[in-house]
Structure 1
Amino acid sequence: MFKTLAPADPTELAGKRAIVTGGSRGIGAAITQRLLDAGATVVTTARGITDETPKGATFIPGDISTLDGVRAFTEAALAELGGVDIVVNNAAAARVHLGGIATIPDDEWVDALNLNYLSAVRVNNALLPALHESGAGSVIVNISSGVAVTPGPQLSHYGAAKAALNNYTKSLAAELAPAGIRVTAIMPGNVLTPGADVIRQNFADAAGVALADITAGIPLGRPGDPRDIAEAVAFLVSDRAQWITGTALTVDGGEIPVL
């Protein structure tokens, strides 16, 4: 169970303008709420709003799996905020193919790259002029996945897209460092979200085990809560992480080293 934390400092990100993609539920909603709690003004997007979507954020519906969708959203977000200081690329989706790599249709490889990798590239490219205008101290955080470094055939298309995102993160960090703009990634492990629950259920059904068995081996004794990832984002976008860039932080309860 996630340990209740002390309230966030409501002044830490006061005056900061943040954009979070995929913020309607799960990890994205937790990130959006955590940035709001720290005093940031937040715009978020997804295809549709849910009961989980933080009420304090401005929600702009959109589909950022396409270049046109990214352009429409980023233009609307910048018009709302007047600029941007923090960008969190969280939008993602995956579908399990238990039959392995050869059973993944070509269009799903393309879809995986568009949403899980290229959406971040396109969003960042669209927002770079505004980030440069904001100046040193601006931050980009790309939400990757532990699957990027623990590949499996059933999610190969998703893992390949996230591995590309890690590589891109490091390259972009090197390019933007002279401007004082930091770029990092976070690789979540098994976090309890609606989308991830479906994936875990697929694996549990295929293995003939209970759903809880899929996360039973996590060294810290529990699956992740979306707030675990949100806390990592809150750190990386703050001045507390001012000398951190170009890295991919694993937040998984210790699971990856024992796989």
Structure 2
Amino acid sequence: MSFDLQLAGLRALVSGGTKGVGAAVVKGLSEAGVQVIATARSLPPHPIAGVRYLAADLSTAQCAADAARSVLEQWGGIDILVNVLGGSSAPAGGFAALNDAQWSKELNQNLMPAVRLDRALLPAMLAQGAGIIVHVSSIQRVLPLPESTIAYAAAKAALSTYSKALSKEVTPKGIRVVSVAPGWVETEAAVALAERLAAQAGTDYEGGKRIIMQALGGIPLGRPAKPQEVADLITFLVSPRASSISGAEYLIDGGTVPTV
């Protein structure tokens, strides 16, 4: 049986598309024949042939609106929207270390870019009666680390709830909405964190990885996910092969979350 994902010729916007999971999603979709526009704060040093890159700071409302307008001007519509952009720069120290500005920054990086892009691009999807939106959340929405990721985890929890609500509204109109919640993924940022923890503990990179896994309560699989593994899941979910899937959230965490 052929397992052609039937994606060739479709149009996709991927936010946060130059590093980590976002870059892997861009690569996977492009290889499947999708026309891709990728956004990021800065253009990549090694762009993927055939991919269009758009420099945009989506943490601001104006830049998000400008990016959406650029996509619509180029294509007139869109078939796939993958909201990958996210991350955290909040300081350690628990709740007391987070002021209003830091809370606002986390929400504007992890929740509002998706809300704004969806709001700007959904009308075109609704007009054509078809489309798929993916929100990349995090298992930290159910496993927050109070030392340093309270605001990030809260923003991702809000993203997952928003994703579910949006799916109930637009799925009857032909637009599928799904959420993907990775656990620890071995991105460039994750490697840098493991190396820093390793140096502080006087161990090697593998030792740094073990420190992170212990902080998460263990990863039964014994390793973090690779960006390509998350991208493969997303590539399947946006394909017509997954046409009956909407309103669900998929964990890809090596078994980290210990509950059903």
Structure 1 length normalisation: TM-score?
A: 0.89
Which residue in 2 is equivalent to 1:253?
Answer: 254
- Mapping for residues 63-142 of structure 1, pairs under 5 Å: 63-136=57-130, 138-142=131-135
Deviation at 1:177, TM superposition (A): 1.3
Change beyond 3 A, Cα 1:40–1:196: same
- 1:1-259 matches, within 5 Å, as 9=4, 12-51=6-45, 53-136=47-130, 138-153=131-146, 154-200=148-194, 210-213=207-210, 214-215=212-213, 217-257=218-258
CA distance in 1, matches of 2:154, 2:69: 29
**Could you tell me which residue of structure 2 aligns to residue 4 of structure 1?**
none
Q: Which moved more, 1:43-52 or 1:28-37?
A: 43-52
Output the CA distance in 2 between the equivalents of 1:70 and 1:218.
36
1:183/1:208 Cα in 2 relative to 1: closer, same or farther (>3 Å)? Answer: farther
Shift of 1:142: 0.4
Over 3 Å counting, the alpha-carbon distance change for 1:201 and 1:132 in structure 2 is same
Contact kept, 8 Å, 2:7 with 2:240, in 1: the verdict is: no
Deviates more, 1:52-61 or 1:158-167: 52-61
Larger mean Cα displacement after TM superposition, 88-97 or 47-56: 47-56
C-alpha distance after superposition, 1:136-178 (max 9, x if no partner): 3x10000111111111211001000000000000000000011
The answer to whether the 8 A contact 1:29-1:53 is kept is no
What runs of 5+ residues in structure 2 fail to find an aligned partner? none
> Closer, same or farther in 2 for the Cα pair 1:12/1:112, shift >3 Å?
same
> CA 1:201–1:77 in structure 2 vs 1: closer, same or farther (change >3 Å)?
same
Q: Cα 1:84–1:199, aligned 2, differ >3 Å: closer, same or farther?
A: same
Deviations 1:188-207 (A, max 9, x none): 11101122334455666777
Q: Residue 182 of structure 1: SS of its match in structure 2?
A: strand
From the superposition, tell whether residues 112 and 198 of structure 1 become closer, same or farther in structure 2 (CA, over 3 Å): farther
SS of 2:258's equivalent in the other structure is helix
Matched residue pairs, number?
249
State the distance in 1 between where 2:200 and 2:90 align: 11
Q: Does the CA-based 8 Å contact 1:88-1:142 persist in structure 2?
A: yes
Cα deviation for residue 53 of structure 1 reads 4.2
Query: Hey, what's the Cα distance between the residues in 2 that align with 1:235 and 1:122?
Result: 24
Q: Give the 3 Å change call, closer, same or farther, for CA 90–104 of structure 1 in structure 2.
A: same
The SS at the match of 1:256 is coil
Q: Distance in 2 between matches of 1:189 and 1:96?
A: 19
Q: Secondary structure at the match of 1:257?
A: coil
CA distance in 1, matches of 2:247, 2:202: 40
| Letter of the structure 2 residue corresponding to residue 240 of structure 1 | R
In the superposition, relative to structure 1, how do residues 212 and 143 fare at CA in structure 2: closer, same or farther (>3 Å)?
same
Residue segments in structure 1 that go unaligned for 5+ positions in a row: 1-7
Length-normalised TM-score, structure 2 = 0.89
Deviates more, 1:84-93 or 1:208-217: 208-217
